[in-house]
Amino acid sequence: MDYLEINKEAWNKRTEIHVKSKFYDVDGFLKGKNVLNEIEINELGDVKGKTLLHLQCHFGLDTLSWARLGAKVTGVDLSSTAIETAKKLTLNTGLEADFICSDIYSFGETSTEKYDIVFTSYGAVCWIPDLEKWAETIAKNLKPGGTFYIAEFHPFYDIFSGYPYFYNQQPIIEKEGTYTENDNGEKSEIACWSHPISEVVNSLLKAGIQIILFNEYSYSPYNCFEGMIEREKGKFYLTHKGEDIPLVYTIKGIKN
């Protein structure tokens, strides 16, 4: 089973749907909206003049939003449709950005550039089979003293949706649609993996990234799971037995 081929095809199809969705609001972005959330903007801090590598950048809205905040950005993604779209958006906005179509392991093996910041977010780690190799890729692409930052969906949600919490080398293979409101009902095969937070933390530590921040949030900035309630603008909650469940975690680290 070639998990990269399966996931590339699924993400190419998803991207075509996502660019037309209200969820991603490309029109709003083209009018100047910064699509990043206060979680990552506040925690990552000032990016002005810094080089920023965005791993699994999808079709580049977050990457280009970091460029709007002054970062010199490079985005990497497996999906050719996503990268072609990101390149068109770069031209349309007049921003400067490099976008590279690659899976992150191959990118890590060939890249020679060292960045001030490596960033990844929301729905990234479940597509990665081996987090030790992922963390090595991150560390290899960071300058000494450079910053790694991830804002990711909390695996607590996966448990309540019937997915395993703990890692298994064998991927979970299933047929899925997508998470935007304009999902057309077509399902594509995907391959993904569960990664407990301890595995994320230990992989980063083993790769020489010293963790300086770890947070958990009781809301998601995205309305992407069934049954979410928007209690405050842009903050979507889910409860179990009347109590909020954690929906997002963030980690910031510095390369030794």
Ligand X SMILES: C[S@@+](CC[C@H](N)C(=O)[O-])C[C@H]1O[C@@H](n2cnc3c(N)ncnc32)[C@H](O)[C@@H]1O
Q: Which DSSP helix (H) or strand (E) runs through 251? A: strand 248-255
- Examine residue 236 and tell whether it contacts ligand X (CB under 6 A): no
Q: Does 127 bind ligand X (CB under 6 A)?
A: yes
Stretch that binds ligand X, among 45-53, 71-79, 108-116, 209-217 (CB under 6 A): 71-79
Of 146, 254, 145, the C-alpha closest to 205 is 254
Scanning 26-34, 58-66, 155-163, 248-256 for contacts with ligand X by CB under 6 A, the matching segment is: 58-66
Q: Which stretch binds ligand X (CB under 6 A): 72-80, 155-163, 169-177, 213-221?
A: 72-80
Strand partners, 211: 253
If DSSP codes are grouped into helix, strand and coil, which group holds residue 224?
Answer: coil
d(CA 172, CA 44): 32
Task: Write out the H or E segment, with its range, that includes residue 144.
Answer: strand 142-153
To the nearest whole angstrom, how small is the minimum distance from the Cβ of residue 235 to ligand X?
A: 17
Residue 53 found at the interface with ligand X (CB under 6 A):
no
Q: What share of the chain is helix, strand, coil (3-state, %, to 5)?
A: 35, 30, 40
Report if residue 137 touches ligand X, rule: CB under 6 A.
no
Q: Which among 43, 40, 77 has a CA at the least distance from the CA of 57?
A: 77
User: Which residue number is nearest to ligand X in terms of Cβ?
Assistant: 123
Instruction: Give the 3-state DSSP-derived string for 44-80, with helices as H, strands as E and coil as C.
Output: HCCCCCCEEEEECCCCCHHHHHHHHCCCEEEEEECCH
Give me the amino acid identity at 25.
D
For ligand X, the binding residue among 47, 124, 125, 207 (CB under 6 A) is: 124
CB of 164 to ligand X, least distance (A): 19
* Nearer of residues 49 and 192 to ligand X, judged by Cβ: 192
Residue choice 67, 73, 104, 142 for contact with ligand X (CB under 6 A): 104
Among 51, 56, 111, 147, binds ligand X (CB under 6 A): 56
Which one of the spans 66-74, 77-85, 168-176, 236-244 is the region binding ligand X (CB under 6 A)?
Answer: 77-85
User: Which span (119-127, 155-163, 166-174, 230-238) binds ligand X, by CB under 6 A?
Assistant: 119-127
Number of Cβ within 10 Å of residue 88's Cβ equals 14
Q: How far is the CB of 46 from ligand X (least distance, A)?
A: 21
Q: Does residue 121 belong to the site contacting ligand X (CB under 6 A)?
A: yes
As beta bridge partners, residue 149 has 119, 252
Q: Which residues bind ligand X (CB under 6 A)?
A: 7, 11, 56, 58, 61-62, 77-79, 82, 103-104, 121-124, 127
